[in-house]
Structure 1
Amino acid sequence: MSTSSDYRIPALAAMSAIAYGLLSWWSHKKRNPGGLPLPPGPKPLPVVGNVLGLKIDEPWITYTHWGATYGELVYSRLLNQEIILINTEKVARDLLERRSNNYSDRPGILCLTNDFVGWSFNSVMIKYNDRWRLHRRLFHQAFRPEAAFTYQSMQLRKARELLSNLLEDPVNWRAHVQTHSVSIIMSVVYGYEPGLRDDPIITIVERAVDLAVSSIKPEVAAFLGAFPFLQHVPSWFPGASFKRTAVLSTKYAKEMIEAPFQYVQENLASGSASPSMVADSLRKAEDQNASETYVKAIKESAVTAFAAASETTSSTMFIFILTMLQNPEVQARAQAEIDSVVGSVRLPNFEDRASLPYVEAVLREVLRWHPAVPLSIPHAATNDDVYNGYFIPQGATIITNTWAITHNEAKYPSPDEFKPERFFGADGKLNDDTVNVAFGAGRRICVGRYIADASIWSAMVSILAIFDIKKCKDEQGNDINVNPKFTAGITSYPLPFPCLFVPRQKEFDTEKLDAMF
């Protein structure tokens, strides 16, 4: 390859961007004949827009600063993609709920919609159409509030397994938390009981999800959306690491889709399948002689539920463990409340939940302090719209800045501090703020939020009942302070940090733990 050919991709990209910019300007002028202003925002640079002003590792921080400067609705542009940022809960409700007909679509993210990374099956990102409605019906059958109640005994059992793993092998606590999160949703979706450690199907799924979450970022999607021809460059081309990642992601995604689904099919054939989302849906499909499209929707919605729930639940648990490590006084108060309700001879269960308001407040504060999905999942405007005198163009990506909403100083004073007390009123009772915004808003709100809430609560309260989460010591016996760093991507959670899980009772062993079940 000649030296000059190395410049073909950037040269073509630049020409494409300039042409698109001119076309977008003319198109915007035609769509907005009244000349209404776009929402205020940082002035975009030619071609690249506001990319250079974005903190790539923590874009929600940049967006929050923009919100403080320009207001609750902010306009920005990443290359050729128009972005409308929602920075307050009121605007999120006004647009995503009260105008849900116009804001329930998803942006056409190239790397997700054309199977570039193997994730075109993802129910979360598919367009607002009949295919999505079919997926949603399948979700609702398995995850509606009434159904979620039936999983509580299983969730408690999984929490007990987590305690056993932490007691026997505390060093690998992160792996145990991930196994706990994955095993719950595997049971709900596939009726699959994974091994306590190193389960082959769990390994397949975690590998696929980890790669996808780390590689599917808004700035990457915007770049590929602006220059779609880049998806066709060979993987060996200099600077084409994204293509190599895409090839690997596609391979892992196929394995993730097929392995657990085949497990259910084999068990149905042998008559040994446990009740689950997939087994129940396949039985119904067979009774109704359903089409291949319907069966495919079962497969796609199932793996979406599995991938999304396992990632967000484990992320929230990592955040919980970090907050307990950094706030021992909060941990001690929650433990004292648990002890006063259940004592030390049994473990908490869901019947105790109403009697543990401070633990409830801790859960809410975990969701608020660092939302696992700090920018929610982007929506898209189906048609042009006007809000408070500002023009919102058709096709614009609508991003709810959950981080800004949960760090609103007017509602949450000293938002960077971890303070569960903020959820109690003057009468000493819990207020109505459940931080539901952490699960999204509108018609695309997380359908699995009831199961996720119960999974997180049961794990949290069980850990607090049995363990103290403490700092590790250095060679001189001093506490090792943790300055956490968080992952970037769709979900955000703390990178590995040192901590100890120390049984609260002296000479506590598996025999004593089993006696508390």
Structure 2
Amino acid sequence: MIQLATLACFFLIVYLYVRHLKSSSRHLHLPPGPKKLPLLGNLFNVPTSLAWITYHKWCKELNTDIIHLSVAGMSIVVLDNIEAATELLEKRSHIYSGRPRLPMLSELMGYDFNVGFMQYGERWRKCRRLLHIAFPPDDSQRHHPQELNAAHNLLLRLLEDPENFMDHIKHMAAETIMSIAYGIEIKRNDDPYVTVAEQGNKAIAMVAVPGAFLVDTIPALKHVPDWMPFAGFKRKAKEWKKLALMASAMPFETTKQMIDDGSAVPSFVSYCLENSRAGDDPAFEESIIRDTAGTMYLAGADTTVAIIWSCILGLLTNPGALKKAQQEMDSVLGVGVLPEFGDQDSLPYVMAVVREAFRWRDVAPIAIPHYTAVEDVYNGYRIPAGSIVVANSWAMLHDETMYPEPFEFNPDRFIKDGKLNHAVRDPGHAAFGFGRRECPGRNMALSSVWITVASIMAAFDISKAVDKDGNTIEPSYEYLQDMICMPLPFKCSLKPRSKEIQRLIRC
């Protein structure tokens, strides 16, 4: 009876709080924003590319950390600094953990299986529970063996074929996550599982940016016949839906077959399926396992690749940072010795390089949008129910008050007196999402990037490539600017630092 009374009091307080917000916010203004047209709002000036830069520019012009846009009646709220994001997406996560309806991506393309885009609810909670089994917050070392093995395999490929370093890094990321998620060994650069997932990620990147497809603003358009001239988006969606089904089903069915014939190695899917077949826990539903595993690969592969590519690009702009990291490793580990995870705490400058890689050219400049189902108030502004809430991670990671000269690749910003300077924010505060939608695999992502970057710097000198006449080939430093931002192909020189390190890599 006491528990029921407590529960009743709780719901009464919540109800009264919501009523208070509605009554007190009725006369409040919306957050400032660019000028709106009647009915259409910001339909013609909402950015569809480099949105994070435009959002930040508007915030600067209006001297605000929050702006409001309206696109044909759809309310969009942009949070431009960490204080606003923390207050709303972290402290009020109970009302900001939803995802907006994504007709193109989820309903037409079939990516509603992806936990990152999934609506907040029971299915999402089941998937997140399994993700916590895969990436327990209190066990960051669980996947170190697979990550270390993939990093060492990468070094061998870089030694034998340095020119195709970008492909080798993609292979390394795929090898790591496919081993952890499915127990599948990736041996070729043109592996079919990897190819399908890459194509699927490209489709997601094009579609998931708010405003990219009109059907996301006017969902009724999804019902127009496919043959109509302006229904090209539906024909694209049909092709991309095939990729979605293949990306989640192909490796999952392979692991099931390996379990049946006794050749499976321990993995997330094998563990979950064994528990499912034992019938010990109803949470281990096969479709939940399949969707969660599919999310693991789609979410982890491209992001890891983009960060490592950016790190190499950053080191090309700052050769001194590479020398400092190499000197630190030579001093602590010894010359010609490869780092291991146990060396992490004794190599602060290497960690500073990794942190700067996450910050400098952040992979997801605007995090996946949140959605609020109830009206709220922030700093005297009314946030309407049904608003899409966008966190401008790019602005947070390029805040010149925290990161002076933010567009320079400078790991020294994280170092003070030879140690990590904890007064400078770890970029993880904005690089992995917010609140209950924070990336559950952040510890694995950080450790995988750390061991890979540390191993490359320990083994190779990295410099700008030269042509046959000895002229320096300057990288373009251009990026594919989608939901996931990745460097466009560039060249660099990777030369082993010594004969000893070559022998160590080959053994």
TM-score (norm. length: structure 1): 0.88
CA shift for structure 1 position 474:
3.5
| Aligned partner (choices 125, 137, 145) of residue 133 of structure 1 | 125
Which of 297, 301, 317 lines up with 1:306 in the alignment? 297
Unaligned 5+ runs, structure 2 = 1-21
- State the partner residue of 1:215: 207
Name the SS for the 1:41 alignment partner.
coil
Aligned residue for 2:495, secondary structure, equals: strand
Q: Map 1:286-435 to 2 at 5 A.
A: 286-288=277-279, 294-425=285-416, 428-431=419-422, 433-435=425-427
Corresponding residue for 2:9? none
1:230 lines up with 2:221 in the alignment: yes
Partner of 2:97: 104
Q: Does 1:161 align with 2:153?
A: yes
Pairwise CA distance, 1:430: 2.9
Instruction: Map Cα deviations across residues 48-80 of structure 1 (whole Å, 9 max, x no partner).
Output: 433443443311111111121221111112343
Query: How far, CA to CA, are the matches of 1:187 and 1:103 in structure 2?
Result: 34
Aligned to 2:177: 185
* C-alpha contact 2:330 2:336 (8 A) present in aligned 1: no
Structure 1 Cα separation of the partners of residues 81 and 210 of structure 2: 21
Is 1:173 the equivalent of 2:170? Answer: no
The whole-number CA distance in structure 1 between the counterparts of 2:302 and 2:141 is 21
| Aligned equivalent of 1:7 | none
Q: For the residues of structure 1 that align with 2:323 and 2:61, how far apart are their CA atoms?
A: 39
Partner amino acid for 1:312? T
Query: Is 1:473 the equivalent of 2:474?
Result: no
Deviates more, 1:200-209 or 1:408-417: 200-209
Name the amino acid aligned to 1:384. Answer: E
Question: How far off is 1:46 after superposition?
Answer: 3.9
Q: Which amino acid aligns with 2:125?
A: R
Aligned amino acid, residue 408 of structure 2: E
Structure 1: distance between partners of 2:315 and 2:212: 34
| Displacement after TM superposition at 1:290 (Å) | 5.9
Residue 440 of structure 1 corresponds to 433
Matched-pair contact (CA < 8 Å) for 2:336–2:459? no
| CA deviation profile, 1:326-373 (whole Å, cap 9, x unmatched) | 211111111111111222332100111111101111111111111101
TM-score by length of 2: 0.90
Q: What do you get for the CA RMSD once the two structures are aligned?
A: 2.2
Alignment partners' CA distance in 2, 1:87 and 1:97: 15
Query: What residue is the counterpart of 1:73 in the other structure?
Result: 66
Instruction: Name the CA distance, whole Å, in 1 between partners of 2:294 and 2:134.
Output: 13
* Aligned AA (1:499): C
> Which residue of structure 2 aligns with residue 113 of structure 1?
106
| Alpha-carbon offset, residue 226 of structure 1 | 2.6
The superposition leaves residues 427-459 of structure 1 with CA deviations (integer Å, 9 ceiling, x where unpaired) of 754315321221111111000001001100010
Closer, same or farther: CA 47–325 of 1 in aligned 2, 3 Å: farther
1:25 aligned residue: none
Counterpart in 2 of 1:261? 252
- In the alignment, residue 187 of structure 1 is paired with which amino acid? S
SS at match of 1:84: strand
CA distance in 2, matches of 1:354, 1:425: 15
Measured at CA, do residues 380 and 278 of structure 1 come closer, stay the same or move farther in structure 2, by a change above 3 Å? same
> Do the aligned residues in 2 keep the contact of 1:122 with 1:301 (CA within 8 Å)?
yes
CA drift at 1:39: 0.7
Query: 1:245 deviation in Å?
Result: 2.1
- Structure 1 residues 32, 239: closer, same or farther in 2, change over 3 A? farther
| Contact 2:364–2:431 (8 Å) recurs in 1 | yes
Aligned-residue offset at 1:376: 1.0
Question: The residue matched to 1:443 in structure 2 has which SS?
Answer: helix
Tell me which amino acid in the other structure corresponds to 2:84.
Answer: V
C-alpha distance 365-51 of structure 1, shift in aligned 2 (>3 A): farther
Helix, strand or coil at the partner of 1:155: helix
> Which stretch shifts more, 311-320 or 235-244?
235-244
Which residue of the partner structure matches residue 452 of structure 1? Answer: 445
Whole-angstrom CA distance in 2 between matches of 1:201 and 1:113 = 21
The partner residue of 1:123 within 100, 115, 119 is 115
Deviates more, 1:164-173 or 1:419-428: 419-428
Deviations 1:398-445 (A, max 9, x none): 111001111111111111111111112467543153212211111110
Aligned partners of 2:230, 2:284: CA distance in 1, in Å?
38
Measure how far apart 1:216 and its partner are.
3.1
In 1, Cα distance between the equivalents of 2:334 and 2:278? Answer: 50
Cα distance in structure 2, aligned partners of 1:31 and 1:507: 73
Q: 1:165 to 1:240 in 2, by over 3 A?
A: farther
Distance in 1 between the 2:104 and 2:291 partners? Answer: 17
Identity among equivalent pairs (%): 37
Q: Aligned with 2:113: secondary structure?
A: coil
Does structure 1 retain, via aligned residues, the 8 Å contact 2:464–2:492?
Answer: yes
Matched position secondary structure for 2:93: coil
Residue of structure 2 in register with 1:13 after alignment: none
Q: Distance in 1 between matches of 2:348 and 2:181?
A: 31
For 1:328 and 1:390, the matched residues in 2 are separated by: 47
8 Å contact kept, 1:423–1:430:
yes
Q: Structure 1 residues 275 and 238 mapped into 2: Cα distance closer, same or farther (>3 Å)?
A: same
2:495 is equivalent to residue 502 of structure 1: yes
Q: What count of residue pairs does the alignment treat as equivalent?
A: 483
Aligned to 1:5: none
Distance in 2 of aligned mates of 1:229 and 1:170: 51
Instruction: Report SS of the residue matched to 1:126.
Output: coil
**What is the SS of the residue equivalent to 2:111?**
coil
2:168, 2:275 → 1: CA distance? 35
Take 2:500 and 2:478, find their aligned partners in 1: how far apart are those partners? Answer: 34
Match for residue 34 of structure 1 among 20, 26, 32:
26
State how far apart, in whole Å, the 2-side matches of 1:45 and 1:319 are. Answer: 40
Aligned to 1:22: none
CA contact (8 A) 1:214 1:488 kept: no
In the TM superposition, what is the alpha-carbon distance from 1:146 to its structure 2 partner? 3.8
- 1:142-188 CA distances to partner (integer Å, 9 max, x unpaired)? 11134431211221110011111111122221111111111111111
